Structure 1
Amino acid sequence: MNSKPIIALDFPSEKEVFAFLSQFNEPLFVKIGMELYLQEGPDIVRKVKEHGHDIFLDLKLHDIPNTVKSAMKGLARLGVDLVNVHAAGGVNMMESALEGLEAGTPSGMKRAKLISVTQLTSTTEEQMQQQQKITLSLLESVLHYASITKQAGLDGVVCSVHEANVIRNQCGEDFLRVTPGIRLAGGEIHDQKRIATPDVARRDGSSLIVVGRAITNAKDPVEAYKTVSELWEEN
């Protein structure tokens, strides 16, 4: 799978997306999340794909198994490279998501990698324990979600850098650890709590990193992307 840093296209419109992408003269790996997808619909996925970019479709599906299976079957036709669900939906829901993804992938096309969200990188241990009423430590919760994700046959998880290496040790090198919350040194942390720089992410076991405002809000996004890429690839 493409190992480039994934740029989060957290824009509200197609116009802003392509104004940003037009600054680059190379194919990228980008993330389309709920904000953009719900404003522009599946056409934005098709249009970004037509420009040669790989796509992580970050919709975090979480519903009853049959609904998720049907939704994933439809998303499979978009030809994305990576897609996700919430591990909190359970093993049966994740298995159904994989079934839908496999059934919906057009003949001759490679199935998208399917990963699950463990705990959001904006979630602290205190928030998890008080608001989700999970009495485990944050690390134990993430490891549990990673374990049932592997049991369901998925390809990996979304986690913070701080859990990536332990998940690799528990679930194996080929089990993807996709880590958002990536910032450059001295950059703003915004609403993320469990963050790291690209070089630390590589050292600590991330398979793929997702970078948003450190690139998209930069004065020179191309230069910021170059810096992130160099840090990510140097170890």
Structure 2
Amino acid sequence: MRVGLFIPCYVDQFYPGAAIATLQLLEKLGVEAVYPKNQTCCGQPMANSGFEHLTGGCNRLFIDNFANFDYIVAPSGSCVLHIREHLHDDKQTQLANNISQKTYELTSFLTDVLKVEHLPSRFPYRVGMHQSCHGQRGLHLSSMTELVAPAFSKPGSLLKMVKDIDLIELDRKDECCGFGGTFCVTEEAVSAKMGKDRVADHLHHGAEYITGVDMSCLMHMEGILKRQGSKVKVLHIAEILNAE
């Protein structure tokens, strides 16, 4: 299969290691992954701020860049959810729909499409996994604790394949970190307090690393950790799944 590698803006600019790990992991699993160099923002920040009517250029560029791939994969739940639910083009409606449905967040692609059952990775550290809201409630990457339903976690199942990892059990598995995209700007105080609460749960259980599928959430918690003088680090899940 031929996969288009969709790398969100903030990953490209601030956390390129997550993008590189995603590419390397896919290649290790026998996937031909290609990075379209003309890709830019998917339009999510504008849409989230009430300006979806101005995202036409982003939509058309995304379609042009990724129309010819079997699948599109990104190390980001929030950006993938935006593409899946909001990608549109009045002149290419069917094409836009086809592209949105074959766009996957990385861990969902590994579990649902590749059906990975083994990983040759090793990460001998105590790790807490943050389940981002977009991934959980929009993409259904994991079960929700308020529902009476069988528990599951696609990111968690992959992390359990990593040799020597010590995956901790959090008190509040699916609590929001408070980032919320533009929410952290418009409601700064609330966002920061929510982030401190989320970080405290990981620290209470002795995490050495905090991981997740969205670098945006991890970036928010990383800022709090640094301000607290903590030695705990954040890593995108791709970097752990790709570790040797």
TM-score of the aligned structures, taking structure 2 as reference length: 0.31
Structure ranking higher in strand proportion: 1
Higher relative contact order (CA 8 A, sep 6+): 2
